[in-house]
Amino acid sequence: MADLPNNEKIVSDFSKTMSYGDYLHLDQILSSQIRLSDHHDEMLFIIIHQASELWMKLILHELSAARSCIQQNNLEPAFKMLARVSRIQQQLIQSWDVLSTLTPAEYMQFRHKLGSSSGFQSYQNRLIEFTLGLKKPSALAVYAHQPELHQQLTVALNEPSIYDAAINALSMRGLKIDPAYLQRDWSQEYKENDSVREAWLIVYRDVEQYWDLYELAEKLVDIDSRQQQWRFNHMGTVERVIGFKRGTGGSSGVDYLKRIVSQRYFPELWSLRTVL
C-alpha cells in the first residue's frame, strides 16, 4: 500500500474510542454464518438469506415511518421513504441472481441440514406483507412457538396498512370513500372497492390539483411492481435449484410461488389504468 500523505492523521489507537467494527458490531454479524455441513456453498446460502433479512429490516423501518407521515397528512417526507423502499427491493431482486449460481447438485449436499426451516417462516417478510395490506390471520400459526414474535405480528395484523392510510388520505382531501373502507376490520385482507378506484381516478384525471396524492399513488405502484418482480425471481430461482420438490417448510414450493406471483397489494391503482 502506498504511504499516506504527511497531512493525513489516521486514528490507530482505539483503546479509548469507537472503531468502525465496534460501531457496526461486526464481531457479532460476521460470526453468525454457522454452517451445518462442510459444503462450500452453504456459506452462500446463509449469507444471501441473512443479508436479505437486513434489507427487510430497513424496508420495515421506512414503511413504518412513511405510514405515520401519511396518517398525519404529511405526504412529502413519505415520498423519499417509499422511493428508498423501491431501491432496497431492487437489491433483493438482484440477490436471486447470486443465489441462482447454486446448482441442484450442490444444494442437495446440504439441504437435508435445514430441517423444517424455510424462508416461508421469515417473520419480517410477513410483517412487510401485513404493512402493505396482505393480511392472513392463519399465517400467525407458524410463530406460535415464539410468543414475542407472535404478539408483534398480531399487532401488525390489526393495524391499518400503508394502503389503508393512503385511502384515508383520499377521504381527508374530500374524495368520496365508502365509509366501510375507512373503519373496517384491519386484520382482514383488503378487497378491491369501486369507491376507492373512483377516488384514485379523480386524482389521475386532475394531477395538477392532486399532485401529492398522485405522487403517493405512483410510489406505491413502484413498490407493488417490485414485490411482484421479487416473487417472480424467487419462483424462478427455486425452480432452477430444486425443481418442483416440496419446500423444506412443507409448502408446495414452486407451485405455491406460482400461485402468489401475480398478487397485487393495491388493486385499484392497477385497475384504474384500464379505465383511465
What is the pLDDT tens value at each position of the chain, 276 positions in all?
456 666 678 888 999 999 999 999 999 999 999 999 999 999 999 999 999 999 999 999 999 999 999 999 999 999 999 999 999 999 999 999 999 999 999 999 999 999 988 888 999 999 999 999 999 999 999 999 999 999 999 999 999 999 999 999 999 999 999 999 999 999 998 999 999 999 999 999 999 999 999 999 999 999 999 999 999 888 988 888 888 777 777 776 788 788 877 789 999 999 999 998
Residue 248 marked as a ligand binder: yes
The answer to whether residues 128 and 92 touch, using CB atoms and an 8 Å cutoff, is no
As a whole number of angstroms, the distance between CA 11 and CA 124 comes to 38
What are the Cα distances from residue 82, in Å, to 97, 125, 199, 265? 24, 17, 21, 15
In a domain, 4, yes or no: no
What pLDDT score was predicted for residue 87? Answer: 98
Annotated binding-site residue? 46: yes
Global confidence as pTM: 0.92
Is residue 62 in a domain? yes
Total count of domains within the chain: 1
For residue 79, say whether it is annotated as part of any ligand binding site.
Answer: no
Contact present, 237 and 100 (Cβ < 8 Å): yes
Domain assignment of residue 9, yes or no: no
210 annotated as ligand-binding: no
**What is residue 8's predicted lDDT score, i.e. its pLDDT?**
76
- pLDDT, residue 101, reads 95
The alpha helices in the chain, defined as continuous H runs, are: 20-24, 26-29, 42-71, 75-99, 104-107, 123-132, 147-157, 162-172, 194-205, 211-242, 254-260, 267-275
In order of 129, 135, 174, 221, 223, the CA distances from 265 in angstroms are 9, 10, 24, 9, 9
Find the CATH number of the domain harbouring 65: 1.20.58.480
Q: Do the annotations mark residue 25 as ligand-binding? A: no
Which of 196, 162, 166, 178 has the alpha carbon at shortest distance from 271? 196
Given a contact cutoff of 8 angstroms between Cβ atoms, the answer to whether 134 and 156 are in contact is no
Examine residue 216 and state whether it is found in any structural domain, yes or no. Answer: yes
- Check residue 201 and give its pLDDT: 98
In a domain, 168, yes or no: yes
Distance CA(187)–CA(184), nearest Å, equals: 9
Res 75: pLDDT? 97
Residue 15 counted as domain residue: no
Whether 165 is covered by a domain: the verdict is yes
Cα(56)–Cα(239) distance, rounded to whole angstroms? 23
CA distances from 19 to 3, 40, 160, 215 (A): 22, 31, 41, 41
Residue 21 domain-assigned (yes or no): no
Predicted confidence at residue 3, as pLDDT, reads: 64
Residue-range definition of the domain harbouring residue 213:
40-110+122-244+252-274
pLDDT at 80: 98
Q: What is the pLDDT of residue 10?
A: 86
Per DSSP, 144 falls in state T
